[in-house]
Amino acid sequence: MRKRLCLLLMAAVLLIAACEAPPTPLPVVIEPTTAATPTPPNQTIRYALAPNAVNSLIDRASIEPYAQLIALDAPPTADGLGAQYDLAVALGRYDGAQQSTVPYIASLVIRTDVPPLDNAEVQAIMRRAAVPAELIAGLDIPGVELLKDEPLGSLRADLASAGYPDGFDLTISSAFVPGIEAFAARLREAGITVEVVAMDSTEAVVQLVAGSRAEGGVNLFRAPISYWIAPGVPLQLSANGFPLPPRAMP
Closest CA to 88 of 105, 58, 68: 68
Mean pLDDT score of the chain: 80
Who has greater pLDDT, 12 or 183? 183
What are the percentages of helix, strand and coil residues in the chain, rounded to 5?
A: 20, 30, 50
pLDDT at residue 248 in the model: 61
Distances (CA, A) of 217 to 16, 107, 153, 162, 165: 10, 7, 20, 20, 25
pLDDT single digits (tens) 141-161: 999 999 998 888 899 999 999
| Cβ neighbourhood burial of 250 (10 Å; 0-12, 13-18, 19+) | exposed
pLDDT single digits (tens) 215-225: 556 888 999 99
pLDDT single digits (tens) 96-143: 999 999 999 887 777 777 788 889 999 899 889 999 999 999 899 999
pLDDT of 63 over the 70 cut: yes
pLDDT at residue 179 in the model: 83
| Region 51-68 average pLDDT | 92
